Structures are given as C-alpha cells and as structure tokens.
Amino acid sequence: MLENIKDAVRKFLTGSTPYEKAVDEFIKDLQKSLISSDVNVKLVFSLTSKIRERLTKEKPPSILERKEWFISIVYDELSKLFGGDNEPSVNPTKIPYIIMLVGVQGSGKTTTAAKLAFFYKKKGYKVGLVAADTYRPAAYDQLAQLGSQIDVPVYGEPNNTNSIEIAQHGVSTFIKNKIDIIIVDTAGRHGYGEETKLLEEMKEIYEAIRPDEVILVIDASIGQKAYDLALRFHQASPIGAIIITKMDGTAKGGGALSAVAATGATIKFIGTGEKIDELEVFNPKRYVARILGMGDIETILDKVRGLEEYEKVQKKMEDLMTGKGKLTLKDVYDQLVALRKMGPLSKVLQHIPGLGVLLPTPTEEQLKLGEEKIKRWIAALNSMTYKELENPSIIDKSRMRRIAEGAGLEIDEVRELLEWYNNMNKLLKMVKRRRSDIEKLFGGK
Ligand code: GDP
Ligand code: MG
C-alpha cells in the first residue's frame, strides 16, 4: 500500500544504515508498496531505474544531505508517475458552464455529481443538478435527496424514459433560471468491459446538450485496469477530465491514478469517502508529498526551492556587476528570503558557493549579520511599499518611521539597513569599475 512509503522514508532518513545500502533498501520498499497498490510493474521498474540513473548522473546540490537529495529525486519521479506538474484548473471558463458525468454503474457518478455541486456552491456559484439516469430505479430520488441535503436544485422527470430529453430539458431550464454551473448525471453501463457502449451513449447525450466538460468517473478499485478505459475516453473526448472515486476504500488507488496519468488524461478530483465533502482537487505533487510524509518532504523541498531562488538572485547580482542596472531592495529582499528558506545560517553559509557576491567579505561579515538581523531586516523590507523596494532613494525620514513602526523595529535599524544597502551599491560600482579597468588592461572588449 502507498501508505507504507511514508514509513520507508522515515526509516531511510533517520536510520543509521549507510547510504548505498539504505538506498537499495528504500528502492525495494518503494517497489513493494507501488506494486501492492497495483501500479503497473513496468511503470514501477522504469521509475526505479530512472531514479538510479539520476543518482549516478546528477550531483547533489550543496545544500542537501545526500539522503535528502535522494528523497527529493524520489519525490520528483513519483510526481511524474502521478501526473507531474499537471495542476488541474477547476474553475469554470464560462457561465453557464455545463458538466456531464459519465461512467459505469456504481462508479460513483451520482455521489460525485452532488459532491461537485457542493464544491462549486461553496465557491459561490449557483449550481443545478440534472438527473438523466433512466436505467437505475429511483435514480431521481437518490439525486433529489442529495440535492436537498446541500440545498441545490435538482431537475428530473421520474416518469420519462428518454434520458436525452431529460438532459436537454434540465439544461435549458437551468439556463433560463440563471444557474452558473449545471451538472448532468447520466446512466452508466453495467460494468468494466462495456466501455464501447458507454462511450457511444456518452456521444449521444453529448451531441444533445453540448457540455463544456465531460467527466469520466472511475472507481479506484479497478486499479491499473483503468488504463484502457481512460485511454479510450481521453482519445474520444478532447474536453474530458477524470475523477477517481473511492480512493479511501481500496489498496489499488495508486494503480488507478498512475494508469490514468499514463494516458495523458487529466485527473481533476479524487473521491475520498462517501460524505458530500469528501472530494479533493487532485494535485499530483501534493499527493506525492503526502504519501512521502508531508513534514519530511516539505523541509527538503523548502531547501531546494530556497537554493533555486538564491541562485536566481545570485545570477542577477553577477549581471549587475558586469552590466548596468542597480541593486534594488527588492533584490536584497529576495536574497534574504531565499537564504532563510535553506535552513540555519551557519550551516547554509558553508554550503553556498559564491556567497561573496552580495557580501564581499564572506563568512566573518556574514555571520555578524546573523540570523536575528536577517529576520528583522526581512520584517523591515516587508513593511515597505513596492515603490520603496524598487527605488529606495525615495525613503525619507517619515517613510523610515512608518516602515519601522510597521515592522516593530527601531528607526535606527531601518536606517542601518538602508546604509548597508547604499554601501552595497557603492561596492558593486567599485567592482564594476575594477572589472572594466582589468578588461582594458588586457585588451578585452
Ligand atoms: P453511480 O452508479 O455511478 O451513480 O454510483 P453512486 O454515486 O450511486 O455510488 C455507488 C456507491 O459508491 C455508493 O454507495 C456511494 O456511497 C459510494 N461512493 C461513491 N464515491 C465514493 C468515495 O469516494 N468513497 C467511498 N468510500 N464510497 C463512495
Ligand atoms: Mg447514479
């Protein structure tokens, strides 16, 4: 089960097993968890060989311990397995917005229709539900009951057996009533293996009501068998998305998610229980962070992000020294914030190459600046306006007072920051001049 991965991460990070051996053990645990949650074996092996390849080809960023780096690679590759950067957009692109739900019987369409209605109602939209399932006995009653629970109108014609007619009537009625989002629940076929009929039926209602979005509802317990169904649906419906239900009730959720992701279809939501609010927007990265253990992974990712941001600022500093432009307080702010993300200063400083650009006399001066001061300076920078950050020369005494008050600091501290900033700019100018002197001397351009 995917839940076991969390324990494996814990064991890996805190255990005393030597790195190489710990990696082997972790990869075995990972494979076991994935396969037992029905992820396709081929996918599992290509995932782990990708991880191993990256371990040999890439270099750990200086700021991470080797074990942390390993977990960050696992996080990355697992995220790709579940859809990568695909963060679904769940906001309607127009009003009225028509959503049509399809899926085999029992997959959770009707429940999901009500969950979606509740989700959008909470966001402030006027929502209407259309009960266009004419196969299932009492289908209308089921939806009507759910609708009354969440106070959402339900359109139905319990005695009409023509589902296409009902869908059309429901949609036009709700459009007349100025409903923002119309959710159409349809009948399902009997089970797995009847996808062809399911897709044909989908097409008929589709032609009749021209929805803005078609959502295929899949029960997670079919595991990797979701692949064929999702693939055909994805190919047949360019405006299609997928919701995987019953993630709470099966060990095969990982299999269903990865299989659907492999088809290129977008998984928009996952259903995590029978209750009306048990629906989550599916974000692959957040999902993976959770199965790896949110706490452990967040600390590592913060460091990585901090380093990335730091390198961006660093690059800008270098540009400043060679080209034109000026160091603004916004640059200083970005740099300080990036530094803080990476961890305790004393530790961070040992690891950062080229730190001397911002503070030319490294460590000694740096450490004097100190944790506390960085915190206070960030507070000061936070209470400046955007204009002040971009153009600090406008900061006069009264602005200084306002900034100090906003940050809970003494006015002298703000002055000190500004002086430091001015010195920094002088230094940059000096470096620039010296560089161009050297270039002249050696005949550079
Ligand atoms: P439909 O035939 O596709 O409309 O499926 P239903 O909406 O009637 O749901 C079939 C069963 O699955 C019902 O008992 C639901 O309560 C249950 N169900 C739906 N979604 C979920 C879910 O996310 N988690 C759990 N545990 N049960 C669910
Ligand atoms: Mg139903």
Q: Is the CB of 79 under 6 A from ligand 1?
A: no
Domains and CATH numbers, the chain: 3-81 (1.20.120.140), 97-283 (3.40.50.300), 294-441 (1.10.260.30)
Which residues are close to ligand 2, an ion, with C-beta < 5 A?
109-110
- Which tokens hold the place of 184? 């159409």
Sign of CA pseudo-dihedral 419, 423, 424, 428: positive
ipTM: 0.99
Return the SS3 of 215.
strand
Alpha-carbon gap, residue 129 to 147, rounded angstroms: 7
- Contact at 8 Å (CB) between 131 and 140? yes
For 96, which DSSP code?
Answer: S
Q: Whose CA is nearest to atom 9 of ligand 1?
A: 108
Beta bridge partners of 29: none
Q: Which of 208, 207, 217, 209 is nearest to 240 (CA)?
A: 217
Return the SS3 of 285.
helix
Strand locations in 108-235 (E): 127-132, 154-155, 181-186, 213-219
Tens of pLDDT, residue by residue, the chain (445 residues): 788 899 999 999 999 999 999 999 999 999 999 999 999 999 999 999 999 999 999 988 878 889 999 999 999 999 999 999 878 889 999 999 999 999 988 999 999 999 999 999 999 999 999 999 888 778 899 999 999 999 999 999 998 988 899 999 999 999 999 999 999 999 876 555 666 777 777 888 899 999 999 999 999 999 999 999 899 888 888 788 999 999 998 889 999 999 999 999 999 999 999 999 999 999 999 999 999 988 888 888 888 888 887 787 777 777 777 766 678 888 888 888 887 777 766 666 655 555 444 444 445 555 656 777 888 889 999 999 999 998 899 999 999 999 999 999 999 999 999 998 888 788 777 777 777 776 677 654 4
For 153, phi and psi rounded to 5 degrees?
Answer: -65, 140
Tell the residue number behind the tokens 């990568």, with chain if given.
84
Residue to substitute in 163, 247, 267, 274 for testing ligand 1 pocket (most ligand atoms within 8 angstroms of CB):
274
In the chain, the amino acid numbered 330 is K
Alpha-carbon gap, residue 43 to 227, rounded angstroms: 12
Q: Is the CB of 111 under 6 A from ligand 1?
A: yes
* Bond preceding residue 96 cis, omega within 30 of 0: yes
- Contact at 8 Å (CB) between 316 and 337? no
